[in-house]
Structure 1
Amino acid sequence: MKLKYLLLGIVLHIISSSVFAQYLPLISENVLWSHVEIHCLPGYNSYSSRYYAFKNDTVIGETIYQKLYATDSPDQTGWYLWGLYREDTSTGKAWYRSVFPESEGIAYDFSAQVGDTVEIYNPAFSADLIRLIVMEKNIVEIGGILRKQLKMWEPQHIQSEIWIEGIGSLYGIKNSGMSWAGAACGSEELLCYWKDDKNLWQNPAFETCFFELTGRVNLPAASPHFSFQITNKTLIINKLHHTGLLIIYNMLGKEVLRQSLHETVTFSLTSLSQGFYLVRFVDPLGVSVTKIWLP
Protein backbone atom coordinates (compact mmCIF):
# COMPACT_ATOMS: atom_id res chain seq x y z
CA MET A 1 0.00 0.00 0.00
CA LYS A 2 2.82 2.39 0.88
CA LEU A 3 4.48 1.59 -2.45
CA LYS A 4 1.21 2.39 -4.25
CA TYR A 5 0.98 5.84 -2.64
CA LEU A 6 4.66 6.45 -3.29
CA LEU A 7 4.25 5.68 -7.00
CA LEU A 8 1.13 7.87 -7.14
CA GLY A 9 3.04 10.72 -5.54
CA ILE A 10 5.86 10.34 -8.06
CA VAL A 11 3.40 10.39 -10.98
CA LEU A 12 1.65 13.50 -9.64
CA HIS A 13 5.00 15.20 -9.11
CA ILE A 14 6.04 14.44 -12.70
CA ILE A 15 2.73 15.78 -14.05
CA SER A 16 2.96 18.89 -11.88
CA SER A 17 6.57 19.54 -12.88
CA SER A 18 5.69 19.12 -16.55
CA VAL A 19 2.78 21.57 -16.31
CA PHE A 20 4.82 24.20 -14.47
CA ALA A 21 7.63 23.82 -17.01
CA GLN A 22 5.30 24.59 -19.93
CA TYR A 23 3.69 27.93 -20.68
CA LEU A 24 0.36 28.66 -22.35
CA PRO A 25 0.57 32.04 -24.12
CA LEU A 26 -1.80 34.81 -23.11
CA ILE A 27 -1.51 36.71 -26.39
CA SER A 28 -3.18 35.08 -29.39
CA GLU A 29 -5.46 36.23 -32.20
CA ASN A 30 -7.76 33.22 -31.84
CA VAL A 31 -9.02 34.10 -28.35
CA LEU A 32 -11.78 36.41 -27.12
CA TRP A 33 -12.68 37.78 -23.69
CA SER A 34 -15.88 39.42 -22.45
CA HIS A 35 -16.05 41.53 -19.30
CA VAL A 36 -18.89 42.77 -17.14
CA GLU A 37 -18.74 46.17 -15.47
CA ILE A 38 -20.93 46.47 -12.39
CA HIS A 39 -22.00 50.06 -11.72
CA CYS A 40 -23.19 51.09 -8.26
CA LEU A 41 -26.20 53.39 -8.50
CA PRO A 42 -28.62 54.59 -5.81
CA GLY A 43 -30.75 51.60 -4.85
CA TYR A 44 -29.58 49.21 -7.56
CA ASN A 45 -26.72 48.06 -9.80
CA SER A 46 -26.50 48.30 -13.56
CA TYR A 47 -24.37 46.17 -15.87
CA SER A 48 -22.52 46.68 -19.13
CA SER A 49 -20.08 44.58 -21.15
CA ARG A 50 -17.18 44.79 -23.54
CA TYR A 51 -15.38 42.29 -25.73
CA TYR A 52 -11.58 42.25 -25.93
CA ALA A 53 -9.40 40.60 -28.57
CA PHE A 54 -5.89 40.80 -29.98
CA LYS A 55 -5.88 41.91 -33.60
CA ASN A 56 -2.73 42.53 -35.63
CA ASP A 57 0.65 43.72 -34.42
CA THR A 58 2.83 46.80 -34.62
CA VAL A 59 6.53 47.55 -34.26
CA ILE A 60 7.84 50.29 -31.96
CA GLY A 61 11.59 50.65 -32.16
CA GLU A 62 12.68 47.04 -32.57
CA THR A 63 9.94 45.56 -30.38
CA ILE A 64 6.85 43.80 -31.74
CA TYR A 65 3.59 44.43 -29.88
CA GLN A 66 0.17 42.86 -30.27
CA LYS A 67 -2.75 45.28 -30.35
CA LEU A 68 -5.56 44.69 -27.84
CA TYR A 69 -8.88 45.99 -29.16
CA ALA A 70 -12.20 46.46 -27.38
CA THR A 71 -15.82 46.92 -28.38
CA ASP A 72 -19.02 47.42 -26.41
CA SER A 73 -21.12 46.26 -29.36
CA PRO A 74 -22.92 42.90 -28.93
CA ASP A 75 -22.34 42.10 -32.62
CA GLN A 76 -18.58 42.72 -32.19
CA THR A 77 -18.32 45.71 -34.52
CA GLY A 78 -16.75 49.11 -33.95
CA TRP A 79 -13.51 47.84 -32.41
CA TYR A 80 -11.14 50.47 -31.00
CA LEU A 81 -7.56 50.21 -29.74
CA TRP A 82 -7.20 49.69 -25.99
CA GLY A 83 -3.46 49.14 -25.62
CA LEU A 84 -0.40 47.16 -26.66
CA TYR A 85 1.02 43.95 -25.21
CA ARG A 86 4.10 41.84 -25.74
CA GLU A 87 5.00 38.49 -24.25
CA ASP A 88 8.06 36.36 -23.56
CA THR A 89 6.87 32.76 -23.69
CA SER A 90 10.22 31.50 -22.37
CA THR A 91 9.70 33.32 -19.05
CA GLY A 92 5.91 33.49 -18.83
CA LYS A 93 5.89 37.28 -18.63
CA ALA A 94 3.67 39.77 -20.48
CA TRP A 95 4.13 43.54 -20.71
CA TYR A 96 1.49 46.22 -21.20
CA ARG A 97 2.19 49.45 -23.08
CA SER A 98 -0.49 52.10 -22.61
CA VAL A 99 -1.53 54.42 -25.42
CA PHE A 100 -1.84 57.42 -23.07
CA PRO A 101 0.64 57.88 -21.48
CA GLU A 102 3.16 56.05 -23.66
CA SER A 103 4.82 53.93 -21.00
CA GLU A 104 5.26 50.23 -20.35
CA GLY A 105 5.53 47.70 -17.54
CA ILE A 106 4.85 44.12 -16.45
CA ALA A 107 1.20 43.07 -16.71
CA TYR A 108 1.58 39.37 -15.88
CA ASP A 109 4.35 37.14 -14.55
CA PHE A 110 3.46 33.46 -14.44
CA SER A 111 7.04 32.54 -13.52
CA ALA A 112 6.52 34.02 -10.04
CA GLN A 113 6.66 31.60 -7.12
CA VAL A 114 4.86 31.57 -3.77
CA GLY A 115 6.19 34.42 -1.65
CA ASP A 116 7.43 36.47 -4.62
CA THR A 117 6.37 40.09 -5.09
CA VAL A 118 5.34 41.03 -8.62
CA GLU A 119 5.34 44.71 -9.60
CA ILE A 120 2.45 45.42 -11.98
CA TYR A 121 2.07 48.38 -14.32
CA ASN A 122 -1.55 49.38 -14.82
CA PRO A 123 -2.20 53.15 -14.99
CA ALA A 124 -5.96 52.52 -14.97
CA PHE A 125 -5.66 51.93 -11.23
CA SER A 126 -2.45 53.57 -10.06
CA ALA A 127 0.21 55.95 -11.34
CA ASP A 128 2.73 53.91 -9.34
CA LEU A 129 3.65 50.25 -9.66
CA ILE A 130 1.20 47.88 -7.97
CA ARG A 131 2.85 45.25 -5.80
CA LEU A 132 1.18 41.84 -5.61
CA ILE A 133 2.41 38.96 -3.45
CA VAL A 134 1.97 35.38 -4.70
CA MET A 135 0.10 33.50 -1.96
CA GLU A 136 -0.74 30.28 -3.82
CA LYS A 137 0.31 28.57 -7.04
CA ASN A 138 -1.49 25.47 -8.25
CA ILE A 139 -2.96 23.77 -11.32
CA VAL A 140 -6.51 23.95 -12.69
CA GLU A 141 -8.06 22.25 -15.70
CA ILE A 142 -9.93 24.50 -18.13
CA GLY A 143 -10.95 23.44 -21.61
CA GLY A 144 -9.26 20.07 -21.13
CA ILE A 145 -5.89 21.77 -20.54
CA LEU A 146 -3.95 21.98 -17.27
CA ARG A 147 -3.06 25.59 -16.48
CA LYS A 148 -1.12 27.40 -13.79
CA GLN A 149 -3.25 29.42 -11.39
CA LEU A 150 -1.78 32.12 -9.16
CA LYS A 151 -3.59 33.67 -6.22
CA MET A 152 -2.19 37.15 -5.71
CA TRP A 153 -2.51 39.36 -2.64
CA GLU A 154 -2.45 43.16 -2.54
CA PRO A 155 -1.53 43.84 1.11
CA GLN A 156 -2.22 47.58 1.13
CA HIS A 157 -5.93 47.06 0.47
CA ILE A 158 -6.17 43.46 1.75
CA GLN A 159 -7.58 42.27 -1.56
CA SER A 160 -6.76 39.20 -3.63
CA GLU A 161 -7.01 38.37 -7.30
CA ILE A 162 -6.55 35.23 -9.37
CA TRP A 163 -4.54 34.82 -12.56
CA ILE A 164 -5.04 31.82 -14.85
CA GLU A 165 -2.42 30.95 -17.43
CA GLY A 166 -3.54 31.70 -20.98
CA ILE A 167 -6.60 33.59 -19.69
CA GLY A 168 -5.30 36.33 -17.40
CA SER A 169 -6.87 37.94 -14.36
CA LEU A 170 -10.38 36.97 -13.30
CA TYR A 171 -10.96 40.72 -13.09
CA GLY A 172 -10.46 40.71 -16.88
CA ILE A 173 -7.59 40.53 -19.34
CA LYS A 174 -6.71 44.24 -19.00
CA ASN A 175 -7.22 44.39 -15.23
CA SER A 176 -4.16 42.77 -13.69
CA GLY A 177 -3.52 44.60 -10.44
CA MET A 178 -7.17 45.61 -10.02
CA SER A 179 -7.09 44.32 -6.43
CA TRP A 180 -5.20 47.55 -5.67
CA ALA A 181 -8.50 49.42 -6.16
CA GLY A 182 -9.83 47.84 -2.98
CA ALA A 183 -13.51 47.58 -2.20
CA ALA A 184 -14.64 50.72 -4.03
CA CYS A 185 -18.23 50.80 -5.26
CA GLY A 186 -18.50 49.11 -8.63
CA SER A 187 -16.24 46.47 -10.11
CA GLU A 188 -15.28 44.63 -13.26
CA GLU A 189 -14.99 40.88 -13.79
CA LEU A 190 -14.18 38.43 -16.53
CA LEU A 191 -17.42 37.04 -17.95
CA CYS A 192 -16.32 34.52 -20.57
CA TYR A 193 -13.25 33.29 -22.42
CA TRP A 194 -13.27 31.72 -25.88
CA LYS A 195 -10.56 30.03 -27.88
CA ASP A 196 -11.11 28.99 -31.50
CA ASP A 197 -14.76 30.06 -31.07
CA LYS A 198 -15.25 27.63 -28.15
CA ASN A 199 -16.43 28.98 -24.82
CA LEU A 200 -13.90 27.45 -22.42
CA TRP A 201 -14.66 29.46 -19.28
CA GLN A 202 -17.74 31.28 -17.98
CA ASN A 203 -18.09 33.24 -14.77
CA PRO A 204 -20.29 31.08 -12.50
CA ALA A 205 -21.92 34.18 -10.99
CA PHE A 206 -23.62 35.10 -14.29
CA GLU A 207 -25.83 33.31 -16.80
CA THR A 208 -24.73 35.32 -19.83
CA CYS A 209 -21.51 36.18 -21.63
CA PHE A 210 -22.57 39.73 -22.53
CA PHE A 211 -24.77 42.43 -21.00
CA GLU A 212 -26.11 44.31 -23.99
CA LEU A 213 -28.45 46.55 -22.03
CA THR A 214 -27.83 48.50 -18.85
CA GLY A 215 -29.92 50.23 -16.25
CA ARG A 216 -32.74 49.33 -13.89
CA VAL A 217 -34.90 47.63 -16.50
CA ASN A 218 -34.31 45.98 -19.86
CA LEU A 219 -34.55 48.65 -22.51
CA PRO A 220 -35.95 48.01 -26.01
CA ALA A 221 -33.73 47.54 -29.03
CA ALA A 222 -34.30 51.19 -29.91
CA SER A 223 -32.33 52.33 -26.85
CA PRO A 224 -29.27 54.56 -27.49
CA HIS A 225 -25.85 53.09 -28.14
CA PHE A 226 -22.71 54.32 -26.37
CA SER A 227 -19.27 54.05 -27.94
CA PHE A 228 -16.16 55.41 -26.24
CA GLN A 229 -12.85 55.69 -28.11
CA ILE A 230 -10.14 55.79 -25.48
CA THR A 231 -7.36 56.78 -27.90
CA ASN A 232 -8.83 60.23 -28.56
CA LYS A 233 -11.17 60.44 -25.54
CA THR A 234 -14.26 60.65 -27.71
CA LEU A 235 -17.76 59.60 -26.64
CA ILE A 236 -20.24 58.79 -29.41
CA ILE A 237 -23.97 58.37 -28.75
CA ASN A 238 -26.20 57.19 -31.57
CA LYS A 239 -29.41 55.24 -32.27
CA LEU A 240 -31.41 58.05 -30.67
CA HIS A 241 -35.15 57.78 -31.32
CA HIS A 242 -36.29 60.30 -28.72
CA THR A 243 -34.96 63.51 -27.23
CA GLY A 244 -33.13 62.69 -24.03
CA LEU A 245 -30.84 64.07 -21.36
CA LEU A 246 -27.16 63.10 -21.12
CA ILE A 247 -25.44 63.50 -17.74
CA ILE A 248 -21.85 62.52 -16.91
CA TYR A 249 -20.70 62.11 -13.30
CA ASN A 250 -17.25 61.58 -11.85
CA MET A 251 -16.79 58.82 -9.27
CA LEU A 252 -17.40 61.31 -6.45
CA GLY A 253 -20.92 61.82 -7.78
CA LYS A 254 -20.22 65.32 -9.11
CA GLU A 255 -21.97 66.25 -12.35
CA VAL A 256 -19.38 67.27 -14.97
CA LEU A 257 -21.54 67.46 -18.10
CA ARG A 258 -25.26 67.84 -18.86
CA GLN A 259 -26.81 68.22 -22.31
CA SER A 260 -30.10 67.58 -24.08
CA LEU A 261 -29.74 65.33 -27.16
CA HIS A 262 -32.01 64.53 -30.07
CA GLU A 263 -29.59 63.18 -32.69
CA THR A 264 -26.29 61.33 -32.99
CA VAL A 265 -23.59 63.31 -31.24
CA THR A 266 -19.85 63.09 -30.62
CA PHE A 267 -18.28 64.54 -27.48
CA SER A 268 -14.61 65.27 -26.91
CA LEU A 269 -13.83 64.58 -23.24
CA THR A 270 -10.22 65.78 -23.35
CA SER A 271 -11.01 68.53 -20.83
CA LEU A 272 -11.88 66.00 -18.12
CA SER A 273 -9.20 64.71 -15.77
CA GLN A 274 -8.04 61.09 -15.52
CA GLY A 275 -10.43 58.65 -13.86
CA PHE A 276 -13.68 56.69 -14.12
CA TYR A 277 -16.94 58.41 -15.11
CA LEU A 278 -20.58 57.30 -15.16
CA VAL A 279 -22.46 58.21 -18.35
CA ARG A 280 -26.25 58.37 -17.87
CA PHE A 281 -28.84 58.93 -20.60
CA VAL A 282 -32.54 59.37 -19.84
CA ASP A 283 -35.32 59.40 -22.45
CA PRO A 284 -38.97 58.25 -22.61
CA LEU A 285 -37.80 54.65 -23.08
CA GLY A 286 -35.92 54.53 -19.79
CA VAL A 287 -32.41 54.96 -18.41
CA SER A 288 -29.11 53.76 -19.91
CA VAL A 289 -25.91 53.79 -17.87
CA THR A 290 -22.32 52.90 -18.68
CA LYS A 291 -18.93 53.53 -17.11
CA ILE A 292 -15.87 54.81 -18.99
CA TRP A 293 -12.21 55.31 -18.11
CA LEU A 294 -10.33 58.44 -19.15
CA PRO A 295 -6.54 57.96 -19.22
Structure 2
Amino acid sequence: MKRLSIIFFLIIFGGLINAQELTINQTYYPLVDTNRIWSTLYQTDDTSSPYFVQKTEFVKFSIDTLIRDKFYKKVFKTNDSLMIDWKENGFIREDSLKKVYYLSDKNSNEILIYDFNITINDTIKLPQFDAQLVVDSINYIEIGEHQRKQIYLSSSNGSEVWIEGIGSLFGVLNSGLGIPCGGSYHLLCFTENNNLLYQNNEFNTCYLFTDITEEIINTKIKVFPNPVEDFLIIEIDLHYGKYYYLNFYNVFGTIIKSIVIHKGYNRLYINDLKLQTGLYFYNIYDVDKTLYSGKIMIK
Protein backbone atom coordinates (compact mmCIF):
# COMPACT_ATOMS: atom_id res chain seq x y z
CA MET A 1 0.00 0.00 0.00
CA LYS A 2 2.83 2.38 0.91
CA ARG A 3 4.57 1.58 -2.40
CA LEU A 4 1.38 2.35 -4.35
CA SER A 5 1.07 5.70 -2.53
CA ILE A 6 4.65 6.65 -3.49
CA ILE A 7 4.03 5.70 -7.13
CA PHE A 8 0.79 7.69 -7.14
CA PHE A 9 2.59 10.72 -5.65
CA LEU A 10 5.36 10.53 -8.27
CA ILE A 11 2.82 10.35 -11.09
CA ILE A 12 0.90 13.38 -9.77
CA PHE A 13 4.11 15.35 -9.05
CA GLY A 14 5.51 14.57 -12.49
CA GLY A 15 2.24 15.62 -14.08
CA LEU A 16 2.34 18.95 -12.25
CA ILE A 17 5.89 19.60 -13.46
CA ASN A 18 4.95 18.74 -17.04
CA ALA A 19 1.87 20.95 -16.81
CA GLN A 20 4.00 23.81 -15.50
CA GLU A 21 6.54 23.39 -18.31
CA LEU A 22 3.71 23.23 -20.86
CA THR A 23 2.23 26.46 -19.48
CA ILE A 24 5.60 28.21 -19.78
CA ASN A 25 6.10 26.92 -23.31
CA GLN A 26 2.63 27.99 -24.44
CA THR A 27 2.87 31.57 -23.16
CA TYR A 28 4.10 33.83 -25.94
CA TYR A 29 5.06 37.50 -25.54
CA PRO A 30 4.83 39.38 -28.85
CA LEU A 31 7.59 41.79 -29.81
CA VAL A 32 5.60 44.45 -31.67
CA ASP A 33 3.73 46.62 -29.17
CA THR A 34 3.15 50.37 -28.85
CA ASN A 35 3.68 50.48 -25.07
CA ARG A 36 7.40 49.67 -25.17
CA ILE A 37 10.68 51.53 -25.58
CA TRP A 38 14.14 50.12 -26.24
CA SER A 39 17.43 51.99 -25.70
CA THR A 40 20.57 50.78 -27.48
CA LEU A 41 24.18 51.90 -27.19
CA TYR A 42 26.67 51.98 -30.05
CA GLN A 43 30.31 52.62 -29.23
CA THR A 44 33.64 52.27 -31.01
CA ASP A 45 36.11 49.80 -29.54
CA ASP A 46 38.99 52.03 -28.42
CA THR A 47 37.72 54.21 -25.56
CA SER A 48 41.10 55.98 -25.27
CA SER A 49 41.08 57.11 -28.90
CA PRO A 50 40.35 60.80 -29.66
CA TYR A 51 37.94 59.43 -32.29
CA PHE A 52 36.00 57.39 -29.73
CA VAL A 53 32.26 57.60 -30.37
CA GLN A 54 29.30 56.39 -28.35
CA LYS A 55 25.67 57.00 -29.15
CA THR A 56 22.45 56.02 -27.40
CA GLU A 57 19.36 55.45 -29.50
CA PHE A 58 15.77 54.95 -28.38
CA VAL A 59 13.25 52.98 -30.47
CA LYS A 60 9.49 52.76 -30.14
CA PHE A 61 6.56 51.59 -32.27
CA SER A 62 3.46 53.65 -32.88
CA ILE A 63 0.18 53.81 -34.81
CA ASP A 64 -0.98 51.30 -37.43
CA THR A 65 -0.54 52.02 -41.11
CA LEU A 66 -1.74 49.95 -44.08
CA ILE A 67 0.90 49.15 -46.71
CA ARG A 68 0.10 46.78 -49.57
CA ASP A 69 -2.82 45.21 -47.67
CA LYS A 70 -0.75 44.55 -44.53
CA PHE A 71 -0.91 46.43 -41.23
CA TYR A 72 2.40 47.72 -39.85
CA LYS A 73 3.36 49.76 -36.82
CA LYS A 74 5.42 52.84 -37.51
CA VAL A 75 8.99 52.72 -36.15
CA PHE A 76 10.37 55.84 -34.47
CA LYS A 77 13.93 56.57 -33.32
CA THR A 78 15.62 59.33 -31.34
CA ASN A 79 19.04 60.10 -29.86
CA ASP A 80 17.46 62.69 -27.58
CA SER A 81 17.97 61.78 -23.90
CA LEU A 82 14.55 63.26 -23.10
CA MET A 83 12.87 61.32 -25.91
CA ILE A 84 11.07 64.35 -27.32
CA ASP A 85 12.40 64.65 -30.88
CA TRP A 86 11.29 61.38 -32.52
CA LYS A 87 11.82 60.66 -36.23
CA GLU A 88 10.00 58.05 -38.30
CA ASN A 89 12.30 55.21 -39.34
CA GLY A 90 10.43 52.45 -41.14
CA PHE A 91 7.63 50.04 -40.35
CA ILE A 92 7.34 46.76 -38.47
CA ARG A 93 4.79 43.94 -38.17
CA GLU A 94 4.45 40.56 -36.47
CA ASP A 95 2.38 37.68 -37.81
CA SER A 96 0.58 34.77 -36.16
CA LEU A 97 3.60 32.50 -36.77
CA LYS A 98 5.73 34.64 -34.40
CA LYS A 99 7.72 36.10 -37.28
CA VAL A 100 8.66 39.80 -37.31
CA TYR A 101 9.19 41.79 -40.50
CA TYR A 102 10.75 45.22 -41.04
CA LEU A 103 10.10 47.63 -43.88
CA SER A 104 12.55 50.52 -44.31
CA ASP A 105 10.10 52.57 -46.38
CA LYS A 106 6.78 52.13 -48.18
CA ASN A 107 8.44 51.40 -51.52
CA SER A 108 10.87 48.73 -50.32
CA ASN A 109 10.34 45.02 -49.68
CA GLU A 110 9.87 43.78 -46.15
CA ILE A 111 12.61 41.64 -44.61
CA LEU A 112 12.46 39.00 -41.88
CA ILE A 113 14.24 40.13 -38.70
CA TYR A 114 12.93 37.57 -36.15
CA ASP A 115 11.36 34.14 -35.96
CA PHE A 116 10.48 33.24 -32.38
CA ASN A 117 9.06 29.88 -33.45
CA ILE A 118 12.49 28.39 -34.17
CA THR A 119 13.84 25.45 -32.19
CA ILE A 120 17.28 24.02 -31.38
CA ASN A 121 19.45 23.29 -34.46
CA ASP A 122 17.17 25.33 -36.74
CA THR A 123 18.81 27.70 -39.22
CA ILE A 124 17.36 31.13 -39.94
CA LYS A 125 18.41 33.53 -42.68
CA LEU A 126 18.09 37.24 -41.99
CA PRO A 127 18.57 39.41 -45.09
CA GLN A 128 19.16 42.63 -43.13
CA PHE A 129 22.84 41.87 -42.45
CA ASP A 130 23.07 38.87 -44.77
CA ALA A 131 23.13 36.66 -41.68
CA GLN A 132 22.59 32.92 -41.36
CA LEU A 133 22.08 31.96 -37.73
CA VAL A 134 21.86 28.56 -36.06
CA VAL A 135 19.93 28.02 -32.83
CA ASP A 136 22.40 26.61 -30.28
CA SER A 137 20.15 26.43 -27.22
CA ILE A 138 16.94 27.73 -25.67
CA ASN A 139 16.09 28.42 -22.05
CA TYR A 140 13.76 30.66 -20.06
CA ILE A 141 14.52 33.89 -18.22
CA GLU A 142 12.36 35.75 -15.72
CA ILE A 143 11.37 39.19 -17.03
CA GLY A 144 8.87 41.18 -15.00
CA GLU A 145 7.79 38.13 -12.97
CA HIS A 146 7.10 36.11 -16.13
CA GLN A 147 9.14 33.42 -17.85
CA ARG A 148 10.19 34.33 -21.39
CA LYS A 149 11.97 32.27 -23.98
CA GLN A 150 15.66 33.11 -24.43
CA ILE A 151 17.24 31.94 -27.68
CA TYR A 152 21.01 31.57 -28.17
CA LEU A 153 22.15 31.79 -31.80
CA SER A 154 25.49 31.72 -33.58
CA SER A 155 26.88 32.43 -37.04
CA SER A 156 30.23 32.84 -38.75
CA ASN A 157 30.20 36.47 -37.53
CA GLY A 158 29.66 35.69 -33.86
CA SER A 159 26.77 34.93 -31.54
CA GLU A 160 23.77 36.74 -30.14
CA VAL A 161 20.81 36.29 -27.81
CA TRP A 162 17.12 36.95 -28.44
CA ILE A 163 14.57 37.33 -25.66
CA GLU A 164 10.92 36.80 -26.47
CA GLY A 165 9.05 40.11 -26.48
CA ILE A 166 12.31 42.09 -26.24
CA GLY A 167 14.39 41.01 -29.21
CA SER A 168 18.14 40.91 -29.75
CA LEU A 169 20.56 42.03 -27.05
CA PHE A 170 22.26 43.98 -29.85
CA GLY A 171 19.11 46.12 -30.07
CA VAL A 172 15.57 45.44 -31.22
CA LEU A 173 16.32 46.35 -34.87
CA ASN A 174 19.82 44.82 -34.94
CA SER A 175 19.06 41.10 -35.10
CA GLY A 176 21.66 39.19 -37.12
CA LEU A 177 24.24 41.93 -36.70
CA GLY A 178 26.95 39.64 -35.34
CA ILE A 179 30.18 41.41 -34.38
CA PRO A 180 30.48 44.72 -36.28
CA CYS A 181 33.98 45.77 -37.26
CA GLY A 182 35.36 48.54 -35.05
CA GLY A 183 32.45 48.85 -32.64
CA SER A 184 29.72 47.16 -30.64
CA TYR A 185 25.98 47.41 -29.96
CA HIS A 186 24.35 46.81 -26.57
CA LEU A 187 20.71 46.82 -25.54
CA LEU A 188 20.71 49.07 -22.46
CA CYS A 189 17.08 49.05 -21.33
CA PHE A 190 13.62 47.79 -22.17
CA THR A 191 10.54 49.43 -20.68
CA GLU A 192 6.89 48.49 -20.96
CA ASN A 193 4.05 50.74 -19.78
CA ASN A 194 6.64 52.96 -18.08
CA ASN A 195 8.06 49.99 -16.12
CA LEU A 196 11.71 49.03 -16.48
CA LEU A 197 11.73 45.28 -17.22
CA TYR A 198 15.28 44.83 -18.51
CA GLN A 199 18.50 46.71 -17.82
CA ASN A 200 22.00 45.79 -18.99
CA ASN A 201 24.04 45.15 -15.82
CA GLU A 202 27.26 46.06 -17.63
CA PHE A 203 26.19 49.70 -17.98
CA ASN A 204 23.43 50.17 -15.36
CA THR A 205 21.90 53.11 -17.22
CA CYS A 206 19.40 53.68 -20.04
CA TYR A 207 21.32 56.54 -21.63
CA LEU A 208 25.01 57.40 -21.97
CA PHE A 209 25.88 61.02 -22.69
CA THR A 210 28.19 61.78 -25.58
CA ASP A 211 28.42 65.56 -25.29
CA ILE A 212 31.45 66.75 -23.26
CA THR A 213 29.70 70.04 -22.44
CA GLU A 214 26.84 68.15 -20.82
CA GLU A 215 29.26 66.15 -18.67
CA ILE A 216 31.00 69.30 -17.41
CA ILE A 217 27.68 70.93 -16.53
CA ASN A 218 26.44 67.76 -14.86
CA THR A 219 29.20 67.91 -12.24
CA LYS A 220 27.66 71.14 -10.86
CA ILE A 221 24.23 69.67 -10.20
CA LYS A 222 23.28 66.74 -7.98
CA VAL A 223 19.92 64.99 -7.96
CA PHE A 224 19.35 62.32 -5.29
CA PRO A 225 18.34 59.88 -3.86
CA ASN A 226 17.72 57.48 -6.71
CA PRO A 227 15.44 55.50 -6.49
CA VAL A 228 13.08 58.08 -4.96
CA GLU A 229 10.85 56.96 -2.14
CA ASP A 230 9.68 59.95 -0.06
CA PHE A 231 11.44 63.04 -1.38
CA LEU A 232 13.92 64.30 -3.97
CA ILE A 233 16.88 66.62 -3.29
CA ILE A 234 18.41 68.89 -5.93
CA GLU A 235 21.69 70.68 -5.25
CA ILE A 236 22.55 73.46 -7.72
CA ASP A 237 25.75 75.48 -7.98
CA LEU A 238 24.92 77.43 -11.13
CA HIS A 239 24.04 81.05 -11.78
CA TYR A 240 22.91 81.16 -15.39
CA GLY A 241 19.61 82.95 -14.96
CA LYS A 242 16.83 84.15 -12.73
CA TYR A 243 14.94 80.87 -12.84
CA TYR A 244 15.57 77.22 -13.61
CA TYR A 245 12.93 74.83 -14.86
CA LEU A 246 12.57 71.16 -13.98
CA ASN A 247 10.50 68.84 -16.16
CA PHE A 248 9.70 65.17 -15.57
CA TYR A 249 8.86 62.93 -18.56
CA ASN A 250 7.50 59.41 -18.81
CA VAL A 251 9.23 56.90 -21.11
CA PHE A 252 7.13 58.12 -24.04
CA GLY A 253 8.50 61.67 -23.76
CA THR A 254 5.32 63.22 -22.32
CA ILE A 255 5.82 65.92 -19.66
CA ILE A 256 4.28 64.62 -16.42
CA LYS A 257 5.28 67.39 -14.03
CA SER A 258 6.96 70.82 -14.25
CA ILE A 259 8.60 72.79 -11.43
CA VAL A 260 10.09 76.30 -11.39
CA ILE A 261 13.30 76.64 -9.34
CA HIS A 262 14.13 80.19 -8.23
CA LYS A 263 17.74 81.37 -8.38
CA GLY A 264 19.38 81.35 -4.96
CA TYR A 265 17.95 77.97 -3.91
CA ASN A 266 21.15 75.94 -3.76
CA ARG A 267 19.42 72.96 -2.15
CA LEU A 268 15.84 72.13 -3.01
CA TYR A 269 13.66 69.50 -1.30
CA ILE A 270 10.73 68.15 -3.31
CA ASN A 271 8.34 65.93 -1.36
CA ASP A 272 5.20 66.20 -3.48
CA LEU A 273 6.20 64.64 -6.81
CA LYS A 274 3.02 62.52 -6.85
CA LEU A 275 4.39 60.27 -9.59
CA GLN A 276 3.36 56.66 -9.99
CA THR A 277 5.92 53.90 -9.52
CA GLY A 278 8.17 53.54 -12.56
CA LEU A 279 11.00 55.01 -14.61
CA TYR A 280 11.06 58.74 -15.44
CA PHE A 281 13.40 61.08 -17.27
CA TYR A 282 13.98 64.69 -16.27
CA ASN A 283 15.86 67.79 -17.32
CA ILE A 284 16.84 71.04 -15.62
CA TYR A 285 17.16 73.96 -17.99
CA ASP A 286 17.17 77.74 -18.20
CA VAL A 287 15.70 79.81 -21.01
CA ASP A 288 17.87 78.53 -23.85
CA LYS A 289 19.75 75.39 -22.83
CA THR A 290 19.56 72.17 -20.85
CA LEU A 291 21.84 72.22 -17.81
CA TYR A 292 21.26 68.69 -16.57
CA SER A 293 19.30 65.63 -17.56
CA GLY A 294 18.97 62.11 -16.24
CA LYS A 295 16.57 59.43 -15.08
CA ILE A 296 15.03 58.42 -11.76
CA MET A 297 13.09 55.47 -10.45
CA ILE A 298 10.03 56.16 -8.32
CA LYS A 299 9.31 53.48 -5.73
The residue aligned with 1:210 is 207
After superposition, what is the alpha-carbon deviation per residue over 1:123-161, rounded to whole angstroms, capped at 9, x for unaligned? xxx3xx42111111111110111111110111x22x110
> For the Cα contact (< 8 Å) 1:96–1:105, is it kept in 2?
yes
After superposition, what is the alpha-carbon deviation per residue over 1:61-113, rounded to whole angstroms, capped at 9, x for unaligned? 1011111100000111111122211101x321111112397121211111001
Cα pair distance change 1:183/1:59, threshold 3 Å:
closer
Structure 2 Cα separation of the partners of residues 174 and 108 of structure 1: 9
| Higher gyration radius (CA) | 2
Q: Does 1:36 align with 2:41?
A: yes
Of structures 1 and 2, the one scoring higher in RCO (CA 8 A, sep 6+) is: 1
Matches within 5 A, 1:1-295: 7-41=12-46, 43-44=48-49, 45-88=52-95, 90-99=96-105, 102-122=108-128, 126=129, 129-154=130-155, 156-157=156-157, 159-179=158-178, 182=179, 184-214=181-211, 218-220=215-217
Cα pair distance change 1:103/1:211, threshold 3 Å:
same
Q: Which aligned runs of 4 or more in structure 1 are off by greater than 4 angstroms? A: 1-9, 214-217
> For the Cα contact (< 8 Å) 2:42–2:183, is it kept in 1?
yes
Give 1:4 deviation, angstroms.
6.0
> For the Cα contact (< 8 Å) 2:100–2:113, is it kept in 1?
yes
Structure 1 Cα separation of the partners of residues 22 and 176 of structure 2: 27
Cα pair distance change 1:185/1:23, threshold 3 Å:
same
Give 1:3 deviation, angstroms.
6.8
Secondary structure of 1:84's partner? strand
Secondary structure of 1:10's partner? helix
> For the Cα contact (< 8 Å) 1:47–1:215, is it kept in 2?
no
Q: Cα RMSD (Å) of the superposition?
A: 2.4
> For the Cα contact (< 8 Å) 2:209–2:215, is it kept in 1?
no
Amino acid at match of 1:131: Q
Give 1:41 deviation, angstroms.
4.5
Cα pair distance change 1:200/1:119, threshold 3 Å:
same
The TM-score normalised by the length of structure 1 is: 0.65
The alignment of Structure 1 onto Structure 2 pairs a total of residues equal to: 211
Unaligned runs of 5+ in 2: 1-5, 219-299
Q: What is the percentage of aligned positions where both structures have the same residue?
A: 30
Secondary structure of 2:204's partner? coil
> For the Cα contact (< 8 Å) 2:162–2:168, is it kept in 1?
yes
Secondary structure of 2:20's partner? helix
Unaligned runs of 5+ in 1: 222-295
Structure 1 Cα separation of the partners of residues 64 and 106 of structure 2: 18
Secondary structure of 1:178's partner? coil
Structure 2 Cα separation of the partners of residues 10 and 172 of structure 1: 38
Structure 2 Cα separation of the partners of residues 161 and 170 of structure 1: 7
Structure 2 Cα separation of the partners of residues 73 and 135 of structure 1: 37
